[in-house]
């Protein structure tokens, strides 16, 4: 079963042909998708996409938008997570590359998501960019207070953070970046990820894999990501698909397995 663990189908890039995009994904064999929340204020649009029986969703605020809701309370996330179509908390985390929100506010909002993940038992979908030391410290400190499940989405950060997150039981998702010619460092990281905790994603409409790079990314392009994962790990395509599927249902365990 092909499963896209991270899509952004509520994005305006899909406003003209959203249903056609979903139909193409299903036609390409993508059986399930998780539509990822970019910010709590936009949750209605995120949730609306999850009306489709093959699409689930998360609730959370990306670090780019943390400054929109600096006082975000865990209870707000927990309340929204009661929706039966919500299967994760996030996308949340730290982005020190763009710094679109102040770093202290990013950290504060991220910690609120962690509390919500711990309380609900739902996995935490983590975005991290150029914030390895702070990210590792927050994850380890918070995990010591009480365990929560971690999914390091579209992982492209350093090897040290990867090892420290893996030690906390984190899962990792592989995106189209793995297919990029200049992404050998990312491929090296993928080779070292825990074999039983790897899944695939498109992060559409971003990061279209080769040979589609430069185009709007769609879930129908997921097979190219899976093919690259299989190549990197030395797995057959069937094994890569089975391992990714098992990892997905281990972390998103609110979704019934067909």
Would you kindly state where each structural domain of the chain is located, as residue ranges? 2-251
| DSSP state at residue 6 | E
CATH 3.20.20.140 for domain 2-251: yes
Q: What is the mean pLDDT of the chain?
A: 98
Residues 138-157: pLDDT tens digits? 999 999 999 999 999 999 99
pLDDT above 90 for 79: yes
Q: Would you say 61 and 92 are in contact if contact means Cβ atoms under 8 Å apart?
A: yes
Whether pTM exceeds 0.85:
yes
In angstroms, rounded to a whole number, what is the distance separating the alpha carbons of residues 116 and 119? 5
pLDDT digits (tens, 9 = 90+) for 107-148: 999 999 999 999 999 999 999 999 999 999 999 999 999 999
Rounded to 10 degrees, the C-alpha dihedral 157/161/166/172 comes to: -10
Q: pLDDT band at residue 163, thresholds of 50, 70 and 90?
A: very high
Predicted local distance difference test score (pLDDT) of residue 216:
98
Across the beta sheet with 150-152, the strand order is 2-7, 30-35, 55-59, 86-95, 124-129, 150-152, 171-174, 198-200
CA dihedral 84, 85, 89, 92 (to 10 degrees): -150
State percent of the chain over pLDDT 90.
100
**pLDDT at 258 exceeding the cut of 90:** no
């Amino acid at each position: 079963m092909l499963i896209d663990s991270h899509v952004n189908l509520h994005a305006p890039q899909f406003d003209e042909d959203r249903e056609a995009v979903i139909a193409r994904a299903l036609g390409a064999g993508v059986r399930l998708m998780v539509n990822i929340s970019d910010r709590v204020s936009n949750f209605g649009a995120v949730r609306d996409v999850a009306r489709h029986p093959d699409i689930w969703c998360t609730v959370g605020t990306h670090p780019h938008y943390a400054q929109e809701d600096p006082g975000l309370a865990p209870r707000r996330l927990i309340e929204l997570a009661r929706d039966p179509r919500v299967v994760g908390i996030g996308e949340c985390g730290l982005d020190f590359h763009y710094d679109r929100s102040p770093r202290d506010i990013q950290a504060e909002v991220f910690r609120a998501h962690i509390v919500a993940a711990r309380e609900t038992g739902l996995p935490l979908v983590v975005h991290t960019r150029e914030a390895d030391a702070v990210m590792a410290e927050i994850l380890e400190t918070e995990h010591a207070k009480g365990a929560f499940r971690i999914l390091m989405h579209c992982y492209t950060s350093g090897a040290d953070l990867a090892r420290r997150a893996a030690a906390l039981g984190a899962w990792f998702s592989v995106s189209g970046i793995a297919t990029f010619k200049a992404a050998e460092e990312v491929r090296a990281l993928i080779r070292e990820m825990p074999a039983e905790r790897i899944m695939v994603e498109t992060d559409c409409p971003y990061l279209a894999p080769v040979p589609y790079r430069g185009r709007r990314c769609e879930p129908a392009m997921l097979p190219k990501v899976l093919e690259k994962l299989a190549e990197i790990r030395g797995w057959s395509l069937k094994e890569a698909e089975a391992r990714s599927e098992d990892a997905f249902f281990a972390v998103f365990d609110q979704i019934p397995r067909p």
